[in-house]
């Protein structure tokens, strides 16, 4: 499924962008480069409000900001497997994983696999991989047993 492209006119509030702003930016990321955003922007936007938009962007092979959206989905997933994660987050994450397994391409299939591993083995969480983008920079399927 391809997310509809639209013109990007800027963020009203970059630390709390609206879904339509994020979607428009993702197709024109040069308009506001990531290095111009707050250093923790990925952490700020990887929540329940923008997760549906981030997921659709990560699923779109043609999206210029796809890697960034996938990175945010790794953050969303890591937060979703915590024992105190909301039931909404856990349900949504499960739905996203199932859909990525059914219709996702290789990067999304790897993401879904890694989410399943983390759901069953939360002790395998590695901050650098899940939060700092390691699994996006170095895509790989985590082993369900043993060490990373």
42: confidence class by pLDDT, cuts 50, 70, 90? very high
Residues 6+ apart with CB under 8 A from 14: 32, 37, 38, 41
% of the chain at pLDDT higher than 70: 93
Residue 26 contacts residue 69 (beta carbons within 8 Å): yes
35: confidence class by pLDDT, cuts 50, 70, 90? confident
pTM: 0.90
Angle CA 10–12–14, to nearest 5:
80
Q: Hey, what are 144's tokens?
A: 């369900």
pLDDT of residue 5 exceeding 70: no
Q: Exposure of 23 by Cβ count < 10 A (0-12 exposed, 13-18 middle, 19+ buried)?
A: buried
% of the chain at pLDDT higher than 90: 77
């Amino acid at each position: 499924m391809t997310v509809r492209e639209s013109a990007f006119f800027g963020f009203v509030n970059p630390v709390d962008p609206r879904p339509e702003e994020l979607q428009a930016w993702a197709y024109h990321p040069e308009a506001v480069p990531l290095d111009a955003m707050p250093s923790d922007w990925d952490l700020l936007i990887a929540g329940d409000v923008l997760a549906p938009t981030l997921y659709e962007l990560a699923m779109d092979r043609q999206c210029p900001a796809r890697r960034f959206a996938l990175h945010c989905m790794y953050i969303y997933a890591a937060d979703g497997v915590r024992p105190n994660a909301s039931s909404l987050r856990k349900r949504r994450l499960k739905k996203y994983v199932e859909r990525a397994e059914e219709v996702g391409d290789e990067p999304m299939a790897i993401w879904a696999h890694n989410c399943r591993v983390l759901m069953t083995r939360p002790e395998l969480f590695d901050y650098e991989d899940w939060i700092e983008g390691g699994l996006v920079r170095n895509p790989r399927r985590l082993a369900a047993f043993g060490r990373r």
